[in-house]
Amino acid sequence: MTAGVGARRSVRVSREQSISSEESVSGASFREIRPDRSITEQVREAVRSAIIDGDLAPGALHSVQRLADAFGVSRTPVREALIDLARTGMVRFERNRGVRILQTSIHGLEEILALRLLLEVPAARRAAQLATPPVDRALERELMAMATAATAGDEPLTMRHDRLFHRAVNEASGNQRLADYVDSLRDLVVTSGVSTAGRSRSLEAIVAEHEAILAALRARDPAAAGAAMKAHLVSTALLLLEQEGGRAADAPLVWAELVEG
């Protein structure tokens, strides 16, 4: 126990006892029952959520010890969780200094958006070939929840359902690994700071783009599904890059030309 107990708690990750208590994540079905998730897993998800939600600011330097104290566990599971996150690029260990919360650079953002284009557009086409009524219904549910959240101006909730919608589409393609990887890519993009200007309008525009995707999937029209997904991702890319870098870099557009002829 190092001194400085009174150090201000810059990490207000969650309630003190949240680790040992059950998380009641609202909404979607659990893919697997994990009654006794390991502490490491719980810490990993907590830190991941904290970064995504902006509770852990990009660029900030933390220590395993302080994070462990905040969670009420020892250093080991925290370190192991961070190793996991470091591999995906969300954090970086700096020897004898701490753990840096990483901010995806403009170039990194371009790379990520290009990867999403390359993967999700074909996945949407494939999903249109494989979709079944249950898949339709699941997508409809997510889209409705997204629309409700968007009209309410609840941006985090909208983004959460946006994520679940994309995951459902990607899983419907039959390639689970693709879905997982795309999901991990999304962790690297900070979405919490979306510009306040014209926020509700862009949120509703996003919902409209998803409606187009769903319509194409329901019609079992691969070409339309791919086109709709491509349009959506390009739109998203432009929005993010404009917001992040002032001037939009056009790298993702170049990649967009490479996908789907």
Partner DNA sequence: CAGCGGCCTGTAGCATGTTACATGTGATTA
Partner DNA sequence: TAATCACATGTAACATGCTACAGGCCGCTG
Angle between helices 39-52 and 64-71 (to 10 degrees): 100
The reply to whether 84 sits near its own copies by the rule CB under 8 A is yes
If you search the block for the tokens 């939600």, which residue do you land on?
A: 53
Count residues near DNA (CB under 7 A). Answer: 28
Q: Chain-centre distance of CA 257, in angstroms?
A: 25
Quick one: DSSP state of residue 91? E
User: Taking CB under 8 A as the rule, which mask of x and - marks residues 106-145 in contact with its own copies?
Assistant: --x--xx-xx--xx--x--xx-------------------
The reply to whether 198 sits near its own copies by the rule CB under 8 A is no
Show the tokens assigned to 237: 């890319």
The reply to whether 3 sits near DNA by the rule CB under 7 A is yes
Residue from 13, 47, 56, 64 in contact with DNA (CB under 7 A): 64
Q: How many CB atoms lie within 10 A of CB 20?
A: 11
Stretch that binds DNA, among 72-80, 114-122, 137-145, 181-189 (CB under 7 A): 72-80
Count residues near its own copies (CB under 8 A). Answer: 30
Cβ partners under 8 Å of residue 122, min gap 6:
173, 226, 259, 260
Show the tokens assigned to 188: 């690297």
Least gap, CB of 189 to its own copies (angstroms): 12
The reply to whether 183 sits near its own copies by the rule CB under 8 A is no
Show the tokens assigned to 143: 């889209």
Burial class (CB in 10 A: 0-12, 13-18, 19+), 32: exposed
Partner from its own copies, DNA, none binding residue 119, C-beta < 5-8 Å depending on class = its own copies
User: DSSP string of 238-252?
Assistant: HHHHHHHHSSPP-HH
Least gap, CB of 36 to DNA (angstroms): 8
**Which residues would be at the binding site for its own copies (CB under 8 A)?**
79-80, 83-84, 87-88, 108, 111-112, 114-115, 118-119, 122, 125-126, 174-178, 181, 226, 251, 254-255, 258-261
